[in-house]
Structure 1
């Protein structure tokens, strides 16, 4: 059985993000972009990270240029933008495709697990997995990371055995 911990992502700062190191921890994945109307959601993602990281939540940002070419920068430019403007300190993957035939294996798996309606249709879709690495919830771009629905889902995932 496949779970989120089976995937390795290229890291924004070089190297890799091996999701297996987060085993037994809930993971919130977000496809991100620097030039999007939803880009201020980085602030909400960072707030969630700050609030719930010590309790076990992992957040991984996955920049994508798939929607409106709103992530055209290099890894260095993306990292600098995220740090300078939003103080992002959670792990960030390298820019990756999250939809269609070119989607990275992680997003193909999410698509298979969650189905058509959960496919990212724009930047800042968010996917939450439980402590077993299985998807439990997804949120569209319209749902900010600090929304009550997201916080409640995170708290449930953190309390699950």
Structure 2
């Protein structure tokens, strides 16, 4: 665990319409934070993310997507275009926030904090690609899953179920 859940839940960021909020303002249970992109080979993970939201949303899970254009320009659209794409193409019902940078000196403060979390191999540091996932449990644990770990992978589902137990 890299930061207390209260610290992560209080870091401000912008919603898709430009309002300021925090993870604590978006959800009070378990939160799965994901940097997303519309033109990536991993984009079909939207379908699995939406299925997780539908399966576990009423039990206290909220998926929060953060569009990011840092990886080969794979999220070039405007926020309106991104929101329409997510809704029409994938039926996304979970909140999509404003575009962020996840790496570098201009990374969003939330991502600067999240990157301190180690993954299952014990590695921390920069976001590797689109669709890196961070599960923040109600008790304050943070679990990090790399981009190629699908949202419906057994280890992700197990961590979500444990967080909601």
What does residue 29 of structure 1 align with? Answer: 33
| Aligned equivalent of 1:127, options 134, 151, 163 | 134
Task: Decide whether aligned partners of structure 1 residues 157 and 46 sit closer, same or farther in structure 2, where only a CA change above 3 A counts.
Answer: same
How far the C-alpha of 1:24 sits from its partner, in A, is: 4.5
Q: Deviations over 1:62-105 (max 9, x none)?
A: 00001011001000000000001001110111111001111100
**Separation in 1, partners of 2:23, 2:41:** 29
Q: TM-score, normalised by structure 1?
A: 0.90
What does residue 54 of structure 2 align with? Answer: 50
Q: Residues 23 and 131 of structure 1 are in contact (CA less than 8 Å); yes or no, is this contact kept in structure 2?
A: no
How far the C-alpha of 1:23 sits from its partner, in A, is: 6.1
Task: Decide whether aligned partners of structure 1 residues 62 and 69 sit closer, same or farther in structure 2, where only a CA change above 3 A counts.
Answer: same
What does residue 150 of structure 1 align with? Answer: 156
**Separation in 2, partners of 1:18, 1:127:** 15
How far the C-alpha of 1:3 sits from its partner, in A, is: 2.7
Kindly report which structure 2 residues correspond to 1:1-161, keeping only aligned pairs within 5 A, or say none.
Answer: 3-21=7-25, 24-114=28-118, 117=124, 119-135=126-142, 137-159=143-165
Count of aligned positions? 158
**Separation in 1, partners of 2:27, 2:90:** 27
How far the C-alpha of 1:4 sits from its partner, in A, is: 2.1
**Separation in 2, partners of 1:83, 1:73:** 14
Structure 2 stretches lacking a partner, 5+ long: none
Q: Secondary structure at the match of 1:3?
A: helix
In terms of fraction of residues, the more helix-rich structure is 1
Structure 1 stretches lacking a partner, 5+ long: none
Task: Decide whether aligned partners of structure 1 residues 119 and 19 sit closer, same or farther in structure 2, where only a CA change above 3 A counts.
Answer: same
**Separation in 1, partners of 2:111, 2:132:** 11
**Separation in 2, partners of 1:3, 1:126:** 18
Q: Residues 63 and 96 of structure 1 are in contact (CA less than 8 Å); yes or no, is this contact kept in structure 2?
A: yes
